[in-house]
Amino acid sequence: MTILKEATSTLGALNATTSVFDVSDADDVSLQITGTFVGTITFYVSNDGVAYYQFAMHQTGNAAATTDAATSTTTGLFSKKCAPFEYVKAIMTAYTSGSATALFTSSRTSK
């Protein structure tokens, strides 16, 4: 696996949004959420950078997780195949307090 790029954003308010993360050259995307916050972070994907749709990701760090989720209310590590999408982002869609740090990483399977 080859790491292509990373981008970090801080989400500390209602509707705070990460930078739009380009995954057009990637096979996989991961999102690591750290920090202390009370809120809901929702994951989105787009092909044109204008219209975004919820994107369910697998909570990699949770061995009991059996389904993907498009939101998180806690810290964790999430991952998903992202080909053939172009862009991903995350938005704090509900917010009470604190702040979360969102680290997107894209990768490509070495061939």
Q: Note the pLDDT of residue 111.
A: 58
pTM of the model: 0.93
For the chain, counts of helices (H) and of strands (E): 0, 8
How high is the pLDDT of residue 83? 86
pLDDT of res. 30:
96
CATH assignment, 2-108: 2.60.120
Region of residue 76 (phi > 0: left; psi between -120 and 50: alpha; otherwise: beta)? left
* Mean pLDDT by groups of 10 residues along the chain of 111 residues: 94 97 96 98 97 94 78 95 94 98 93 58
The predicted structure's pLDDT at residue 66: 75
Model pLDDT, residue 39: 98
